[in-house]
Amino acid sequence: MQDRDDDVRLMLAFAAGDEAAFAALFERWSRPLLRYLERLVREAATAEELVQEAFVRVHRARESYRPEARFSTWLFRIATHLAWNELRRPRRRAPHESADAEEAPPLAAEGTPIDELVHARRVSAEVEVALAALPERQRAALWLAAVEGQSYAEVAAAIGTSEKAVKALVHRARAALAEALAGLEGGGEAALEVAR
């Protein structure tokens, strides 16, 4: 609740002319938004552009902002619509490596057998492929609920649907991931943690 209050307070301060409040919101939300958009559009450069565009829209809408929902719900809704518009564009480039990969912590401590490292990287790649194969609405709903920790009501507001539809989307996404990752030796269950 404190973060929600802080975000609303920052956005209202920004609406009143405090540019530092906008910078604080950008600092807090740009990384989570980038990770989310990378999963939707599957291209790091495009995701980065969409993060910038989402914050440009927040900047433009500052005077009309009303704290009826969490700031993050409003921000992710803007980003979701931008991503879906991008995905509908006819020219799409090939999928990418996630920007998270550049900053990812080591998969294991020193001394870990190489076969365990190889297996962990294979599992990670399989999860990325399985997530990318999900329909965009399922991927968005699952990511917001499971990774960003948003409630079904917040996810529904962000992607423009009902809570009941979000529950169904998340359920279908989890089932599809479970099926896609079922064959992973010893790593399928750990890989499915993102879906729980």
**Its pTM surpasses 0.75:** no
CATH number of 2-88: 1.10.1740.10
Q: What is the pLDDT of residues 58-78, one digit of tens each?
A: 999 988 888 887 899 899 999
**pLDDT tier at 3, thresholds 50, 70, 90:** low
Residue in 137, 165, 51, 67 with CA at minimum distance from that of residue 99: 51
Q: What's the pLDDT at 10?
A: 94
Domain extents in the chain: 2-88, 110-195
Rounded Cα gap, residues 122 and 44, in angstroms: 21
Which residue has 């921000």 as its token pair? 75
What phi, psi does 126 have (nearest 5°)?
-65, -40
- Domain 110-195 listed as CATH 3.40.50.1820: no
Cα atoms found within 13 Å of the Cα of residue 82, Cβ hemisphere only: 24
Token output for 116: 């365990």
Q: What is the pLDDT of residues 114-131, one digit of tens each?
A: 777 676 777 777 888 888
Four-point Cα dihedral 71, 77, 80, 81, nearest 10: -130
What's the mean per-residue pLDDT of the chain?
82
Alpha-helix residue ranges (DSSP H) falling in the chain: 2-15, 19-41, 44-60, 71-88, 100-103, 114-133, 136-142, 152-159, 163-181, 188-191
